Amino acid sequence: MSTLSPVSWWRNPWRKPWGLMIVTALYLTWSLLPVAVAVLFSFNAGRSRVTWQGFSMRWYYGDPLRSVWHDSSLHAALVHTLWLGVLATAITVPLGVALALGLDRWRGRIPSGANLAVIVSFVLPEILMAVSLLFVATVLVSPLKLGTSGQVLGLVTFQLSWPVVIVRARLLTIGRDYEEAAVDLGASPAGAVWRVLMKLLYPAIFASAVLVFADVIDDFILVRYLSGDSSTETVSIKVYNTARAAPTPALNALTTLLLVTALIVVTLGYLGYRWFTRGEKGAGAIDVFAGES
Amino acid sequence: MAEVETETDRPVPDELEESQASRRRGAEPEPQKGVGSRWLWGGLALPGIVWLCLLFIAPLYVVLAIIFGGIDPILRQPVPVWNPLDWDFSQFNFVMGRIFGPDPYFRPAMIRTVAYVASASLICLVIAYPVAYFTARLAGRWKGLLLAALIAPFWISYMMRMLAWVNLLQTDGLVNKTLSAGGLFNVHYAWLQGHSTTVILGLVYGYVPYMILPLYAGLDRAPTAMLEAARDLGASRFQTFYRVTWPLTRTAVVVSLLVTTLPMLGDYFTVDLLSGSPSNSMIGNLINNSVLTPGETGQAGAFVLIVLVVSVIPMFIYLRSTRSGTDIAV
């Protein structure tokens, strides 16, 4: 009966890792349950955020004054958040992809300095960039103005490192054979980049667009410092301003809508990424959506 | 959390010299093995580099010009001084004096920042390492699903996650109700009224997901064969971990600490939402409170400079130490 003794159980290298399993399960519960409760209370019939009073869509469109649909300050925040996401993604991705291609192949002092700047901007606390751009907007006379334009310029600067990192990781796996073959077959270098390399980079470009968009709509620090007035407030600013001041579940409804948008975008992005990389060995890994390429 | 290739000693592609040579001869640059010229790659990189110079590097200089600049005596507006030779160090010295000097007005917040960030990072590591280990090594067919669940908080806005806790931690909220166990006890703990514990746990909750991902990547990369070899050669479970797994993932641990600690240094909203009391404020709160106050802009700049120096130095040490190792996972 030695198989049942605690000592042999402990020594058995194939036993189930119960301890780690429990830690992981507890972590996941702790990590996701509060958000699930917040989503649940966005459907509360009463205005309490702590007592369940029945299911309703009151805080989405039912309430004539305070629902997301009817309170213009709430849905304007949602629209502005998504608009910033679209604008910032549309500028960041082409700029970042070109920068990634350039930095990957161009050797010298300037590109290695720029490379360092990209890495530093990737991990630097966001508040530093936000304060420095706020100073530029308030102290200098420059095209950078508080409001939508300032927010977009700041977000693009902050997000630029994402496409650079992802595209460069992909460039490493592609190698140089395809473009060399294209040039050998008569393409110009620019033509080889445009017609061969770009096609191979589609998955990375697509993944970085999804990442940038999902990141921008969750941004808080930059967007808050560079917002001029209440017309350029986003969902995260609304939450920050009202979370402690007895808000209604409409705030939960607003954040739930943002959450649903982000999850739809990321899911579509993941499916799209799998479609782009179909047939590739080891591709379709979910890792890339953690910036993990 | 992807790999960035640093400048390695990869040889300069020979086509550069060749294309230059052909230009010197006045001939059409013939495409050689290896593609593109310095002009093509430089031209592609140029817009991005200009963008970074104008909107990332130059604004940092503006911060310096404001810290070491003056204040308009009537409007209390900052007056930037562009020439480093004319810099006036009085605002910076004022802040430094109140951190290190005899009137330590800002010192408690500095000490709190270090204490909060250090303890939150350590708790993060203690939680994240086992979870990442389980996911990378032992999850089997559940790996994909588990990874998706671990990444999910990444896509839920930080503010929403904090809002969720603000609601749960109300005095009549679900946490106290759960702790009361249906009237068995009478718990009315005011979680949100200036408690360090709440702030630290809030920071942990907020930043743990960012730590799990690089750890997962590091553990996933570590070769299983080595661990099996260690066990085969007679190492115990703990010896295997201590002598093989841990050294193999040390880089990933450093990276994961870096990506959670640095953003925490600039955090002010977690304190604002979960404590609301100046007795818990960190350096981020000092920045946030002074940046829009007339006459205190230079002080905000000085705090920004402190955070910048404190966060850039470990990063450069790290980059230097991995020079030879070719890749840094950021």
What is the CATH number for A230?
1.10.3720.10
Out of B13-27, B78-92, B283-297, pick the least confident: B13-27
Instruction: Determine which of B18, B163, B192, B239 to mutate to test the interface with A (most A C-beta atoms within 10 Å).
Output: B163
Between A and B, how many CB-CB pairs are < 8 A? 328
Considering the domain architecture, whether residues A170 and A280 belong to the same structural domain is answered as yes
Instruction: Say whether both A129 and A222 belong to one domain.
Output: yes
Are residue A168 and residue A106 in the same domain, yes or no? yes
Count of domains forming chain A: 2
Please state the φ and ψ torsions of residue B329, each to the nearest 5 degrees.
-95, 115
What confidence score (pLDDT) does residue A64 get? Answer: 83
Nearest to A129 among B48, B56, B268 (CB): B56
- Split at pLDDT 50, 70, 90, the class of B23 is very low
User: Same domain, yes or no, for A86 and A158?
Assistant: yes
- Measured between beta carbons, the chain A residues lying within 8 angstroms of B159 are 218, 220, 235-236, 239-240, 243, 255
Q: Specify the amino acid at residue B187.
A: V
Q: What is the pLDDT of residue A34?
A: 92
Structure tokens at A174: 């592609």
Distance CA A257, CA A35 (A): 13
Say yes or no: A17 and A138 in one domain. Answer: no
pLDDT at B19 over 70: no
pLDDT of residue A13: 67
| DSSP labels, B71-94 | E-TTT--EE----GGG---HHHHH
**pLDDT exceeds 50 at position B2:** no
pLDDT band for position A106 (cuts 50, 70, 90): confident
Q: How many CB atoms lie within 10 A of CB B178?
A: 11
pLDDT in tens, B176-223: 888 887 677 777 788 888 889 999 999 999 999 989 988 998 888 888
Q: How sure is the predictor about A121, in pLDDT bands with cuts at 50, 70 and 90?
A: confident
Q: CA–CA separation, A94 vs A75, rounded Å?
A: 30
User: How far does the CA of residue A61 sit from the closest CA of chain B (Å)?
Assistant: 20
- Shortest CB distance from B155 goes to which of A19, A121, A263? A263
Cβ within 8 Å of residue B175, ≥6 positions away: B168, B169, B191
Same domain, A218 and A161: yes
Domain ranges for chain B? 108-283
Residue (of B267, B263, B245, B253) closest to B311 by Cα position: B263
Q: Give residue A258's pLDDT band: very low, low, confident or very high (50, 70, 90).
A: very high
* pLDDT (0 to 100) of residue B330: 37
- pLDDT for position B1: 39
* A37 shares a domain with A115: no
Largest separation between any pair of C-alpha atoms in chain A:
84
CB neighbour burial string for B66-95, b if at least 16 within 10 angstroms, e if fewer: bbbbbbeeeeeebbbbeeeeeeeeebbeeb
Residues of chain B positioned with their CB less than 8 A from the CB of A266 = 155
The CATH code that applies to domain B108-283 is 1.10.3720.10
Distance CA B151, CA B210 (A): 9
Indicate the pTM of the whole model. Answer: 0.84
Give the minimum alpha-carbon distance from A195 to chain B in angstroms, rounded to a whole number.
Answer: 13
My answer on whether A89 and A6 are in the same domain is no
Residue A270, domain member (yes or no): yes
Interval A133-188: pLDDT, tens: 999 998 888 888 888 999 999 999 999 998 998 898 888 888 888 888 888 888 88
Highest-pLDDT range among A104-108, B88-92, B247-251, B283-287: B283-287
Q: Which residues contact A233 (CB under 8 A, 6 or more apart)?
A: A73, A76, A77, A80, A227, A241
> Of residues B326 and B36, which shows the higher confidence score?
B36
Asked if residue A87 is part of any domain, the answer here is: yes
B93 pLDDT higher than 90 = no
Judgement on whether residues A26 and A124 belong to the same structural domain of the protein: no
In a domain, A64, yes or no: no
Q: How far apart are CA B305 and CA A122, in angstroms?
A: 18
The answer to whether residue A257 scores a pLDDT higher than 90 is: yes
Range of the domain at A179: 70-290
Cβ(A102)–Cβ(B41) below 8 Å:
yes
Answer with the residue of higher pLDDT: A13 or B27: A13
Same domain, A28 and A159: no
Q: Output the CA angle B131-B133-B135, nearest 5 degrees.
A: 70
- Residues A36, A161, single domain; the answer is no
Q: Which residue has the higher pLDDT, A168 or A122?
A: A168
Average pLDDT taken over every residue of chain A: 86
Helices and strands in chain B: count of H runs, count of E runs:
16, 4
- Whole-angstrom distance, CA of residue B223 vs CA of residue B220: 8
Region at A98 (left for phi over 0; alpha for psi -120 to 50; beta for the rest): alpha
Residue B129: burial class (beta carbons within 10 Å; 0-12, 13-18, 19+): buried
User: A113 and A20 in one domain?
Assistant: no
pLDDT of residue A87 exceeding 60, the answer is yes
A171/A187 Cα distance (integer angstroms): 19
ipTM over 0.90: no
Spatial separation of the C-alpha atoms in residues A52 and A40, rounded to whole Å: 9
